[in-house]
Chain A
Amino acid sequence: MSEPLLELSDLHVKFPTPSGAIHAVRGLDLTVHAGEVVGIVGESGSGKSVSMLSVLGLHGPAAEVSGSVTFRGRELIGAPASELRHLRGGRIGMIFQDPMTSLNPALTVGRQLSEAVIVHQKGSKRAAGERAIDLLDMVSMPNPTARLRSYPHELSGGMRQRVMIAMAMANDPDLLIADEPTTALDVTTQAQILDVLGRIRSERNLAIAIITHDLGVVAGIADTVNVMYAGRIVERGAVEDVFYRHEHPYTSGLLACLPRLDSRSELLPIGGAPPALDALPLGCAFQDRCRHVTSACTEADVQLAPVGATESACVNAPIAVGVR
């Protein structure tokens, strides 16, 4: 396969607190190729957002990041601020979960869009304004010229998220990182936004790293899926393989939680709660909630390894975890 666009190797992210360090990301490996859509799924606190924030260095000053993050071969961890700024909004765009709070309430949409353009491209304000209209067109915003003068609070959730996408695409990036882009939206709007993302992706051969806890989102748009738990990837593979031929008990638990229209069985939540990230047990982090747990699970760290159709971090895989 071609050179990866983005590569995370052995990424660790720690947050120091008065009661000990919180190890939010514990040795993550991830690659994204040009034009590929990579999904990252997991529950709250699994470290999915934190890991992708490391790419652009958007944690606060307190975070301790180690390992390697390379973009087109250039190492980003420890890179000078000017280089990161060059990438942010330039070659790599990022959109966030809540478009209402992610947009500046005091500035018009046009101002915020133009700003994204002006930071990276030379040119007049007017040129930036015209580009802003083009961008709004790209995300299928109705009546783009009028929208330039609107304030964020005047737009619906879906429209705001389109603005966010337009801002992130302002300089034609190679990679778009989408952190829970549809979580704050209702189902119909979700579908629209995913449509927009899908369209942009194919029009521009855009690579997307999409973070979500919603497996349905991933099913629609991703090529590969990474399932995260307690700061690590526990299963990885092509989207079909992860859905139908997964090996890790956590993945099967997640899929079992999904309500389905075609069957009338009960919802099966995964019992228990994720472990505290400053007090992890030895061995597999899922051991306390796993139905298939054995003594081998508690002895040592479990690494991701190819098992069947997917890569899985389970010592007991392959288990007949059941396919639905």
Chain B
Amino acid sequence: MARYVLKRLAIAPLLLIGIVTIAFLISRLIPADPLVSIVGERNMGNPTVVAAAEQQWGLDKSLPAQYATYMGNLAQGDFGTSFRTKSSVWDDLTERLPATAELTLAALLFGVVAGIGLGVVAAVKRDRAPDHVARLFALTGSSIPVFWLGLILLFVFYARLGWLPGPGRLPPRTDPPAHMTGLYTIDSLAAGNFSLFWECSKRLIMPAFVLGWGLTGIVSRLIRASMLDELYADYVRTARAKGLTERSVMIRHVLRNALMPTITIVGLSFGALLTGAVLTETIFSWNGIGSYAVEATRTLDYPAINGVCILGGAIFILTSLATDVLYAVADPKIRLS
């Protein structure tokens, strides 16, 4: 197994270089003049300001030279400075990463737990009413536009019913808890501030549900199929012949084997989660990388666009790798080879 992991680790940097290069090329395709967003419309007529800006941002050099500077900077961890926020892209990203992490983890938790539950129900009650309901729920989750769902839920539960708070990570005029992980729920718990924990958690409910519903769909379909695969396996009959209750048979034998392919799918759904995160963060005013990406593309802030693409790609590659390793560990046949 060590060889397998090492092989995958070796490819990762190459992929990263590929991503980085493509991000660079894309950002240079932008037809609009980035100078406009840097110096502002008014100053475009002023040649000194324009020239100074060009020099500062390296926009006067040729394309290959820019690429060289770009790669050189990247190697030192310098992602450039955002045209929009005027601070280092790296700082921007690291500041906003915890918000996305919190949202994604909550969605992952919801999606996986609900997905497994629904999948088991659908498999055990195959072709009967609960199965059809579960499958419809799952299918709808994969079909519903995330941004629209967020709007509808906000309208119903916040605007009309007032049961849940509005968009945003924190209640208005409230400071975040003392920084430990950057995930407000965990940090407020760690600080013993239970009311803040409760407030932050409430604000996490709708976005996590919106983001996680799609994952529920994927997971439940997979669990159902895997369990059906295993339900008629011989070892299940053996388990029954030992005198186990149906529930023990389902959970300790069938589900355990059915879970393995799920690990892979969950890992691979990270891409879908990130996609959803971009849209969810926008609707719920969640100050994460997703909304940063949206702002960046709206203002043609190409250092930021670059940075987000690279970070997104890196996360993607890492989660793929982690998934493969996790799967190899879980399946004894692979682990011991």
Contact = CB atoms under 8 A, between A and B. Distances in A.
A104 B257 contact: yes
Interface in A111-129: 115-116, 119-120
Contacts of B260: 106
A58 B237 contact: yes
Contacts of A153: 332-333
Given A101-B235, A154-B336, A106 B241 contact: no
Contacts of B244: 85, 115, 119
A88 B242 contact: yes
Contacts of B331: 106
From B233, B235, B332, B336, residue with most partner A Cβ within 10 Å = B235
Interface stretch (A25-33, A90-98, A208-216): A90-98
A101 to B, nearest CB: 4
A6 interface: no
A105 B335 CA distance: 13
Given A105-B332, A106-B256, A154-B336, A56 B241 contact: yes
A89 interface: yes
A173 to B, nearest CB: 11
A151 B335 CA distance: 11
A93 B245 CA distance: 16
B241 A101 contact: no
B253 interface: yes
B245 A85 contact: yes
Interface in B295-337: 331-333, 336
Given A151-B332, A153-B333, A102 B237 contact: yes
A101 B235 CA distance: 6
A5 to B, nearest CB: 18
B237 A89 contact: no
B305 to A, nearest CB: 45
B190 interface: no
A119 B238 contact: no
Nearest to B232: A60
Given A105-B257, A164-B238, A88 B332 contact: no
B235 A102 contact: yes
A116 B242 contact: yes
B243 A89 contact: yes
A98 B234 contact: yes
A212 B212 CA distance: 52
Contacts of A119: 242-244
Interface in A185-217: none
Contacts of A151: 332-333, 336
Interface of B is mostly: helix
B260 to A, nearest CB: 8
From B241, B256, B257, B331, residue with most partner A Cβ within 10 Å = B241
Nearest to A60: B232
B242 A103 contact: no
B310 to A, nearest CB: 38
A103 B243 contact: no
Contacts, number: 71
A116 B238 CA distance: 10
Contacts of A89: 241-243
From A56, A85, A90, A164, residue with most partner B Cβ within 10 Å = A85
Interface string B232-276: 011101111111111000001100110010000000000000000
A291 interface: no
Contacts of A85: 243-245
Contacts of A87: 243
A112 to B, nearest CB: 8
A107 B259 CA distance: 13
A292 interface: no
Interface in A74-94: 81, 85-90, 93-94
A13 interface: no
Interface in A145-170: 151, 153-154, 164, 167-168, 170
Nearest to B259: A106
B123 to A, nearest CB: 14
A104 B336 contact: no
A56 B242 CA distance: 10
A160 to B, nearest CB: 11
Contacts of B256: 104, 106-107
A299 B193 CA distance: 88
Contacts of B234: 96, 98, 101-102
B242 A105 contact: no
A265 to B, nearest CB: 39
Contacts of B241: 56, 58, 88-89, 93-94, 96, 168
Nearest to B335: A151
A96 B260 CA distance: 26
Contacts of B332: 105-106, 151, 153
B243 A90 contact: yes
Nearest to B241: A94
A183 to B, nearest CB: 13
A121 B143 CA distance: 50
Contact of B242 (A81, A101, A106, A115): A115
11 contacts: A58-B237, A85-B244, A88-B240, A88-B241, A89-B243, A96-B234, A104-B257, A107-B253, A115-B252, A119-B244, A120-B243
Which 7 pairs of residues, A with B, have the shortest CB-CB distance? A89-B242, A89-B243, A88-B243, A101-B234, A102-B234, A94-B241, A104-B235
Given A98-B234, A115-B244, 4 more contacts: A89-B241, A104-B239, A153-B333, A167-B242
